[in-house]
Structure 1
């Protein structure tokens, strides 16, 4: 066998070696989650949205106009942009629940604030002032989407998160049913879940590398109009 003939198998093996996919730790099913990382401006923005939604829930339960106004101001200050999450699967049904509307917009929140204010002209004036405050616009803030999930169904999204930075997904419903949240990486590993008995859900993790994640919002009760926010 000539030297040139012996060289061919070696060259083929070398090329094959460089064609093997390289994973974060050598495991093709490796979980894309690492150690906690420092907050970023985008992850902090999602935290602020969570605070605003908590104020809305409190304001509605106590009919507290000030809490609602504070929530609306936070939402305007933080801003948002249309979510870039790709919808893999939606409820896709038509029921009377289609008549539900989004109760978590700034306009809807301030409308209820005025209702709770009653004869308090000072609070009504604060609500009207908050409505006039300019928002940061559609190019700022975290990705946000509001949609209706029907009884016994789930919505499935895919969105990319950056490696080495905190990733946050927050969702809040209209209070009419229990919603559960699940996050999977591209290797189908369950990264995070929030399955308590409410429709307020939060998942927080730090991806080791930039990659696609699958987000599932499962409805365990009647139709629920929810808002999902992510960085």
Structure 2
């Protein structure tokens, strides 16, 4: 083989290696063929999302039992209060100053609706006396986040490889919100762009790494809560 042929062969081999490395660098952090076992954090995040839905149902239907049950779930799961901080995006002033989805606030509304019902009031008393679980490993929750009209919020979070990751978000009903999840390489991993402002994403990372959660508002200002493990 001539020197020229040798150099060409070496260049081709080098290009092939570079191309392989580039392809590897772009591989998404997603195990498409595996659903990881739900961790305690993922299960707790799902429970909190259920509690939030129960609380909203109780408010809309004046149902004391739904509110009291939601408060019990929130206490039992051990929520890291407002642990999720917006990494990027403009956050507007809250539409309401109270934390409507805290365990205490939900229980207070349930107790008010239970007036005249000794059985429900006794149940509310039991929930009030219960101590919250330790929150070191509890789900991460962001409440009273207001994303402006046609604006967006980003959250940068780390998820463990091989474990099921879950994100839930729900707004106040005033506009359409969409949820997108990207890995550290910019690959779109999961999305929920269905109509409305109740969203969920679940995936299993191939390796432990950072992910960007994006909440995009398609309409007027919306106050939402977001929950993840």
**Which residue, out of 163, 179, 182, partners 2:180?**
182
Residue 129 of structure 1, CA deviation: 2.7
Q: In the superposition, relative to structure 1, how do residues 85 and 63 fare at CA in structure 2: closer, same or farther (>3 Å)?
A: closer
Gaps of 5+ in 1: 1-16
Residue 86 of structure 1, CA deviation: 5.7
Gaps of 5+ in 2: 1-13
- The DSSP-based 3-state class of the residue aligned with 2:109 is helix
Residue 135 of structure 1, CA deviation: 0.3
Other-structure match for 2:72: 73
Residue 192 of structure 1, CA deviation: 0.8
Other-structure match for 1:101: 98
Residue 83 of structure 1, CA deviation: 6.2
CA distance in 1 between counterparts of 2:25 and 2:98 reads 44
Alignment of 1:122-133 (within 5 A): 122-133=119-130
- The DSSP-based 3-state class of the residue aligned with 1:226 is strand
Alignment of 1:127-142 (within 5 A): 127-142=124-139
Other-structure match for 1:228: 226
Q: In the superposition, relative to structure 1, how do residues 115 and 150 fare at CA in structure 2: closer, same or farther (>3 Å)?
A: farther
Other-structure match for 1:14: none
Contact kept in structure 1, 2:152 and 2:216, CA below 8 Å: yes
Q: TM-score, normalised by structure 1?
A: 0.80
Q: In the superposition, relative to structure 1, how do residues 113 and 182 fare at CA in structure 2: closer, same or farther (>3 Å)?
A: same
Other-structure match for 2:86: 87
Contact kept in structure 1, 2:91 and 2:146, CA below 8 Å: no
Residue 184 of structure 1, CA deviation: 0.5
Q: In the superposition, relative to structure 1, how do residues 139 and 184 fare at CA in structure 2: closer, same or farther (>3 Å)?
A: same
Higher mean alpha-carbon deviation, 203-212 vs 130-139, is at 130-139
Alpha carbon RMSD of aligned pairs, Å?
2.7
Q: Count matched residues.
A: 211
Contact kept in structure 1, 2:85 and 2:142, CA below 8 Å: no
Residue 162 of structure 1, CA deviation: 0.8
Contact kept in structure 2, 1:37 and 1:166, CA below 8 Å: yes
CA distance in 2 between counterparts of 1:109 and 1:78 reads 15
